[in-house]
Amino acid sequence: MPSNLKLAGDREIMTHHKPLAGRAGIVTGGALGIGGGTARRLAADGAEILIVDIVEDAAQRNAQRIIDAGGAASYMVGDVAQEDVAKSMVEKCVDEYGRLDILIQNAYGGSVGRDGSAVDVEPDAWRSGMDLLVGAQFLGAKYGVPAMEASGHPDTFEVPEWKGAGRRHGVPPKMEVGRIVNISSVHGLLQAPRALVYEAGKAAVVGLTRQMAVDFGPLGITVNAIAPGHIVTERGEAMWAELGNDAGFGLFERHYPVRRTGVPADIANAIAFFCSPDASFITGVVLPVDGGMSIQLQENIVMHTKDYIVANPDLRTHFDHGRLG
């Protein structure tokens, strides 16, 4: 296991530059893991954050951690696959912070009971999986986008003078009205066997993101997706401690050109960039944040991995326990 695992972008909230000052945002699944680290990072960047999660104590703890560090955060308990939750999280953000600028659609609860091919998966498991993986992101945008429009750009945004190169018309387009970041996965780009629901759902997030980018660009709202590689979260670390060993973790790391797996801060950094004013001309992209894992030719990796496995016959990973395909 890696030592001194830093789980999130825990920079000094009081001293850090604040490119998101004056903005308010929602992070779904913002209690733990990638969402937890993202909530802390966006708060460090100056945004007021509403955490929406099904685990109340962890949501409360993360909000308190942000407040203790000098940021602004609150939380709400709810399953974001439910329409009433999507609606009320947007209302709560607007009630509490007066606006909505940022929507990070990250929540997912794992694939227990949803594994298998199209032959294995029960129709109810398909529906509930798609409702959370894809449906929640649709609902978040359905209620979030009108609230972003109503909020307009933040007071801190200075509309540029609209003339000169590339600016042919007198009226500037709508700008800095909102940012949506949808969390896909390397599983949305590359398929793992016997994981129909997750793989199809994460691939659908790519299409949903591109569609939303086209639909909401004219409103001044950018929509991008991130495809994380293997990110060790609080839960992932506990799973590795239980089911894996150092040699097994090393096997994982060898599949990454940068020779490490990720931590939530790696994803939070990319999300913070998409939300920043610097990213205003970027929309509809799917950014792999995966240490290069998804650009390697697989057949070479297999041959390199063979030697490692032969040299480490006692390696254990979560795959050995039938957890994943």
Ligand X SMILES: NC(=O)c1ccc[n+]([C@@H]2O[C@H](COP(=O)([O-])OP(=O)(O)OC[C@H]3O[C@@H](n4cnc5c(N)ncnc54)[C@H](O)[C@@H]3O)[C@@H](O)[C@H]2O)c1
220 binds ligand X (CB under 6 A): no
149 binds ligand X (CB under 6 A): no
Lay out the site mask for ligand X across 117-136 (x = CB under 6 A, - = otherwise).
---------------x----
Q: Which is nearer to ligand X, 219 or 243 (CB)?
A: 243
Q: Which is nearer to ligand X, 52 or 66 (CB)?
A: 52
| Token pair recorded at residue 271 | 């999300």
Q: Which is nearer to ligand X, 294 or 312 (CB)?
A: 294
Helix ranges (H only) for the chain are 33-44, 56-68, 83-97, 123-130, 136-151, 196-216, 234-243, 246-254, 264-275, 298-311
Q: What is the DSSP letter of 290?
A: S
Q: How far is CA 291 from the centre of its chain?
A: 16
Among 109, 152, 217, 250, binds ligand X (CB under 6 A): 109
CA distance 18 to 21: 5
Q: In angstroms, what is the minimal distance from the CB of 184 to ligand X?
A: 7
CA distance 271 to 8: 13
Q: In angstroms, what is the minimal distance from the CB of 243 to ligand X?
A: 15
Q: In angstroms, what is the minimal distance from the CB of 231 to ligand X?
A: 4
Among 13, 24, 28, 209, binds ligand X (CB under 6 A): 28
Lay out the site mask for ligand X across 62-101 (x = CB under 6 A, - = otherwise).
-----------------xxx--------------------
Secondary-structure breakdown of the chain: helix, strand, coil percentages, each rounded to the nearest 5 = 45, 15, 40
Q: What is the DSSP letter of 231?
A: B
Q: What is the DSSP letter of 134?
A: I
User: Residues 97, 108, 198, 256: which is the catalytic one?
Assistant: 198
Among 40, 92, 230, 255, binds ligand X (CB under 6 A): 230
Q: Which is nearer to ligand X, 163 or 194 (CB)?
A: 194
Task: Please count the residues of the chain.
Answer: 325
CA distance 226 to 206: 9
Q: Are 279 and 273 in contact (CB under 8 A)?
A: yes
The verdict on whether 308 is a catalytic residue reads no
| Token pair recorded at residue 21 | 């000052």
Among 17, 167, 194, 235, binds ligand X (CB under 6 A): 235
Active site residues: 198
Binding site for ligand X (CB under 6 A): 28-29, 31-35, 52-55, 58, 79-81, 106-109, 132, 183, 185, 228, 230-231, 233, 235-236
